[in-house]
Amino acid sequence: MSLYHGDKNLPSPPKELTRSWLYSSINRHDFFNKQHVVIASRECGDILFLKKFGVKNENIIACDKDTVALRRAKKLGVFTYAYPKVVNEVSTDIIATAKWAAYLYKANLASINVDLCVNLKTGLPILNEILALKLSKKTKVFFTFSRRSGRLGPVELRNDASRHAYLEQQTGKKWEIFPYISWTNNSHGAIMMAARMI
C-alpha cells in the first residue's frame, strides 16, 4: 500500500490502481461499447480515467449534487443529468441517475460506480437502493467507502475483514475488496476501501 505526496494536480497512484482493479472486471467489449455511470467529483477522476483508456464521451454518464463538479464534467463532454420523464424528478444524484440509466440502457449498462467516499453507515442505504434496481447480470456495481473504524449499532468495524463481512451481510451480495490509501486535492491520506460485486 503506497502513499502519494506528489503533484496534487495528478491523480494519486493508489486511486488510479484502484480504478484499474475495478474496471478490469468488465470485459473488453462492454468496457468500450456500453455505458458507465460515475459520480463526477470536482477532480472528475473516474471520467478522466475512462476517457484515457478510450471510452467515448457518449458512454459516460456523470452525476453529482455538487454543481461545480457537474460543470467540470460537462466541459469534458459527458452526459451530466437525468431525465425527469423517467425518474419523475430532476435530480443529479447517483440513485436517480442509476435509475434512469438502468431504465434506458438495460443490458447496455456496463457499470455503476458508487464512489461516495463516505462511511459504511452513510453509503449502504444508497448502495442498496441501486442494488434493488433491475440491472443486467453483466452490469458491474462498484462501491468505495471510508475504512475509518467505527460502530454500526451493535457491530464494531475494527478491521478490513469485519468491514467486508458487514458489507456482504447488509447487501446480501458477494464482494471482492481492495483497501488503499488515497492522496487527492480533497483527502490527504484517506483510508479507503473499494469493492466490486461478484
The whole domain housing 135 covers: 13-197
The residue among 127 and 82 whose pLDDT is bigger is 127
Predicted confidence (pLDDT) per residue in 43-80, tens digit: 899 999 999 999 999 999 999 988 899 899 999 999 98
On whether residue 144 sits in a domain, the answer given is yes
Count of alpha carbons within 13 Å of 106, Cβ hemisphere only?
A: 0
Average pLDDT over residues 96-120: 92
pLDDT, averaged across the chain = 86
DSSP state for residue 22 in the 8-state scheme: H
Asked, for residue 137, whether it belongs to a domain, the answer is yes
Mean pLDDT value of segment 129-143: 96
As a whole number of angstroms, the distance between CA 163 and CA 169 comes to: 10
Residue 3 lies in a domain: no
E strand intervals along the chain: 35-39, 60-63, 109-118, 140-146, 150-152, 155-157, 175-183, 188-197
For residue 146, pLDDT over 80 is answered with: yes
Residue with the three cell numbers 453483466: 138
Number of domains in the chain: 1
Position 192 in a domain: yes
- Give ∠ CA 135-133-124 in degrees, rounded to 5: 115
| Residue 181, in any domain of the structure | yes
C-alpha cell read off for 71 = 460543470
Q: Could you tell me where the beta strands, DSSP code E, fall in 40-124?
A: 60-63, 109-118
Q: Dihedral of CA 177/35/69/124: which sign?
A: negative
Flag the least confident range among 16-20, 87-91, 184-188: 87-91
Query: Which CATH number covers residue 111?
Result: 3.40.50.150
In a domain, 8, yes or no: no
Per the domain annotation, does 167 fall within a domain?
yes
Residue 30 lies in a domain: yes
